[in-house]
Amino acid sequence: MEFSVSSATVELAAQALGCPPERIAKTLSFYHGESCILVVAAGDAKIDNTKFKRQFDCKAKMLSVEDVEPLTGHAIGGVCPFSVRDGAAVYTDRSLKRFPTVFPACGSSNSAIELSCEELFKFSNSLGWVDVCKGWEPEGSDSQ
């Protein structure tokens, strides 16, 4: 889908699609050696630094503005898990699994596609489901 308005943030994408922000599949980009890790997570999820370090054996340091496009292949506002640069490792966070479908960006600041979690995993060439986020689970639930 292409929009006449920006979908560059979770909030803007949710408005453009008319869906709750948590159903936006945001792609977060982090340094990993000379390349990067892309974590696709639900719009209401936040990276949990302890879980990230345990999973990837490095600190969760987001890419700088100038490194986003060279390392991911996409400009800020359109970073997505599809057609990424060689060396960019894509992972899908379990925060997405609570939805039948989610809406990741498609490489521009005004696009999205609706996919099931299985389709997102497949088409993004995800290397695995991970548990590196917090803030999305109901109060009192235990993610361990």
Q: Residue 144: its pLDDT value, please? A: 45
The residue-averaged pLDDT of 49-65 equals 97
Question: Among candidates 71, 65, 121, 75, which has minimal Cα distance to 97?
Answer: 121
d(CA 89, CA 130): 12
**Averaged pLDDT of the chain:** 94
| Beta pairing, strands 129-130 & 89-93 | parallel
Could you tell me which residue, 105 or 144, shows the higher pLDDT?
105
Q: What Å distances lie between residue 44 and 2, 37, 73, 82, 137, CA to CA?
A: 23, 19, 25, 21, 9
Domain boundaries, the chain: 10-130
Instruction: List beta partners, residue 36.
Output: 31
pLDDT at 60 over 90: yes
The residue-averaged pLDDT of 112-141 equals 92
The hierarchical CATH code for the domain 10-130 is: 3.90.960.10
Q: What backbone torsions phi and psi does residue 27 show, to the nearest 5 degrees?
A: -110, 115
Q: Give the CA diameter of the chain.
A: 42
pLDDT at 143 over 80: no
pTM of the predicted protein model: 0.93
pLDDT in tens, 63-109: 999 999 999 999 998 999 999 999 999 999 999 999 999 999 999 99
